[in-house]
Amino acid sequence: MSATGADREATLARTWAGLDRSRPVVHVGYDKVEELLAALEPQLPLDRIDAVAGVARSGIVPATILSQRLGRELFLLRCQRHNGAVQWLGEAPPPGTRLLVVDDIVSSGLTLSRIRDFLAPQNLPALTLALFVDGERSTVQPDFAHPAPGFVRFAWDRRETVPEARRLREQVDMAPPEREVDCFGVDMDGVLLPDLRKAHYQRDLPLALRLRHDLAPYPAERLPQIDWSRAHIITGRPAMDYAPTRAWLDAHGFAGCPLHCRDPGQHDHSAEGVVGHKVAALTRLGASVFLESELIQATLIARACPTVDVVWWGRRQRLRLGAVAPVRWG
């Protein structure tokens, strides 16, 4: 990528601050949640737990699973980070009920501290469990938790960790759900324009690259119907093709979309290398949706990024992987 190209991408990405780059990003899907809870379960003193209380929204999934595994009633709590208010969602447990309060992660400890203060005057003794605790940053430690291996991104965090949500959180600490929006990653060849056959590249690479550059984009009705102001182009094209690729995007209405080409020094041209590049870009950006034209790549990316909605963008079918029915995006 040229210096000019790098400056341009830095400008385009300035408002797209991604996930915490000082720590590794760890994706946790629903199946992993089962494993994490199973590892903590033997530590629980069942004779001191009458019911489970999940912290909405993030603690609902692990609390529901534990409620079923332990055979205990489930109650729900809400702690609003922007004003500190804690309240029961629905019925409150009777005084004297011994609770196991469940959340997904304890980062600063503020939510956990507020909930403990809320429960104490109600005569509701509580043990606390989180899937993870940030031991370095949290001022309060739950009774049961795994040490956080980095910046943990759960399957239910799809929109809470996208760039827009993170900017809002810096301003108001908690934004209402209706303010949460997607951050899109979009494969290029096969989604924005036809993908040339590999035989063309093998037979005459310079000619194939010229033909590709001269291709027009698909008609508007065939393109993804997404908010392109929140989209990144993530392509397996190598960094040496950055300039002509950027020129094509600018000429065809995608000038506002940051472009992420593959660095051959980090990810080679193999299928594994291309997938690795796309996974790294999606993770770095905090994207919530990715549109991929190749089925095998889409499947591998979905496995590596269970916190991203991966949509296979086939020629005649749009399929959200893991769903039971096709999903229309155009």
Residue by residue, DSSP assigns 121-154 as GGT--EEEEEEEE-TTT-SS--SEEEEP-SEEEE
- What is the torsion angle, in degrees rounded to the nearest 10, for the CA atoms of residue 16, residue 312, residue 277 and residue 35? 90
Contact of 26 with 150, CB cutoff 8 Å: yes
Q: Examine the domain organization and report whether 78 and 201 are in the same domain.
A: no
Range of the domain at 102: 25-155
Q: Are strands 73-79 and 86-88 parallel, antiparallel or unpaired?
A: antiparallel
Q: What is the CATH number of the domain that holds 188?
A: 3.40.50
Q: Examine the domain organization and report whether 13 and 53 are in the same domain.
A: no
Query: How far is 197 from 211, CA to CA, in rounded Å?
Result: 12
Query: How far is 311 from 195, CA to CA, in rounded Å?
Result: 17
Q: Examine the domain organization and report whether 44 and 142 are in the same domain.
A: yes
Task: Give the pTM.
Answer: 0.65
Query: How far is 98 from 125, CA to CA, in rounded Å?
Result: 5
Per-residue model confidence (pLDDT) at position 18: 45
Q: Is residue 106 part of a domain?
A: yes
Per-residue model confidence (pLDDT) at position 171: 52
Query: How far is 249 from 1, CA to CA, in rounded Å?
Result: 15
Per-residue model confidence (pLDDT) at position 9: 46
Q: Is residue 172 part of a domain?
A: no
Q: Check residue 22 and report its DSSP letter.
A: T
Query: How far is 277 from 269, CA to CA, in rounded Å?
Result: 10
Q: Examine the domain organization and report whether 31 and 136 are in the same domain.
A: yes
Q: Is residue 213 part of a domain?
A: yes
Q: Is residue 273 part of a domain?
A: yes
Q: What is the CATH number of the domain that holds 40?
A: 3.40.50.2020
Q: Examine the domain organization and report whether 10 and 35 are in the same domain.
A: no
Between the two ends of the chain, the Cα-to-Cα distance in Å is 32
Contacts 24+ apart (CB under 8 A), 254-258: 254/192, 254/228, 256/12, 256/228, 256/229, 257/12, 257/186, 257/228, 257/231, 257/232, 257/233, 258/9, 258/12, 258/13, 258/16, 258/232, 258/233
Q: Examine the domain organization and report whether 65 and 185 are in the same domain.
A: no
286: left (phi over 0), alpha (psi -120 to 50) or beta: left
Per-residue model confidence (pLDDT) at position 40: 95
Q: Is residue 327 part of a domain?
A: no
DSSP string, 265-309: TTS-SSHHHHHHHHHHHHHHHT-SEEEES-HHHHHHHHHH-TTSE
Q: Examine the domain organization and report whether 89 and 193 are in the same domain.
A: no
Per-residue model confidence (pLDDT) at position 7: 55
Q: What is the pLDDT along the chain (330 residues), one digit of tens a residue?
A: 444 555 544 443 433 334 555 667 788 888 889 999 999 999 999 999 999 999 998 899 999 999 999 999 999 999 886 677 899 999 999 999 999 999 999 988 989 999 999 999 999 999 999 999 998 888 889 999 999 888 888 878 765 566 666 555 555 445 555 555 788 999 999 999 988 777 766 777 778 778 888 899 999 999 999 989 989 999 999 999 999 999 999 999 999 999 999 999 999 999 999 999 999 999 888 888 899 999 999 999 988 888 788 999 988 888 888 655 555 555
Q: Examine the domain organization and report whether 144 and 89 are in the same domain.
A: yes
Q: Check residue 324 and report its DSSP letter.
A: S
> Which of 91, 122, 155 is the last residue in one of the domains?
155
Q: Examine the domain organization and report whether 316 and 258 are in the same domain.
A: yes
Per-residue model confidence (pLDDT) at position 212: 84
> Which of 138, 155, 172 is the last residue in one of the domains?
155
Q: Check residue 89 and report its DSSP letter.
A: S
The neighbour count for residue 303, using CB atoms within 10 Å, is 15
Q: Examine the domain organization and report whether 12 and 133 are in the same domain.
A: no
Q: Examine the domain organization and report whether 194 and 113 are in the same domain.
A: no
Q: Examine the domain organization and report whether 144 and 238 are in the same domain.
A: no
How many domains is the chain partitioned into structurally? 2
